[in-house]
Amino acid sequence: MSTSASALATFGAGCFWGVEYFFRQIPGVLNATCGYMGGNDKYSRYEDVKKGITGHAEVVQVEFDPSIVSFNDLLDVFWKNHNPTSLNQQGGDIGTQYRSTIFYHDKQQKAEAEASKLAFARSGRWGTRQLVTEIVPLQTFHVAEEYHQNYLDKNNLPSCHIEY
> pLDDT band at 161, cuts 50/70/90?
low
User: Which tens digit of pLDDT belongs to each residue from 84-134?
Assistant: 999 999 988 999 999 999 999 999 999 999 999 999 999 988 888 999 999
* pLDDT at position 6 over 90: yes
pLDDT recorded at residue 111: 98
Alpha helices in the chain (DSSP H): 16-24, 46-51, 71-80, 107-122, 151-154
Decide if 163 is inside a domain.
no
C-alpha separations of 104 from 50, 68, 97 in Å: 23, 20, 18
What domain range includes position 94?
7-154
Q: Give the total number of structural domains in the chain.
A: 1
pLDDT recorded at residue 147: 84
* pLDDT at position 163 over 60: no
Decide if 88 is inside a domain.
yes
pLDDT, average across residues 16-33: 94
Decide if 26 is inside a domain.
yes
Decide if 73 is inside a domain.
yes
Decide if 147 is inside a domain.
yes
Residue whose C-alpha is closest to residue 142's, from 50, 43, 52: 43
User: For residue 118, what is the domain's CATH number?
Assistant: 3.30.1060.10
pTM: 0.91
Decide if 76 is inside a domain.
yes
Q: DSSP character for 98?
A: G
Decide if 161 is inside a domain.
no
Decide if 160 is inside a domain.
no
pLDDT recorded at residue 106: 98
- Mean of all residue pLDDT scores within the chain: 90
| 15 part of the active site | yes
SS3 90: strand
User: Which tens digit of pLDDT belongs to each residue from 59-90?
Assistant: 999 999 999 999 999 999 999 999 999 999 99
Which residue in 7, 9, 15, 121 is the catalytic one? 15
pLDDT recorded at residue 164: 46
Higher-confidence residue: 158 or 143?
143
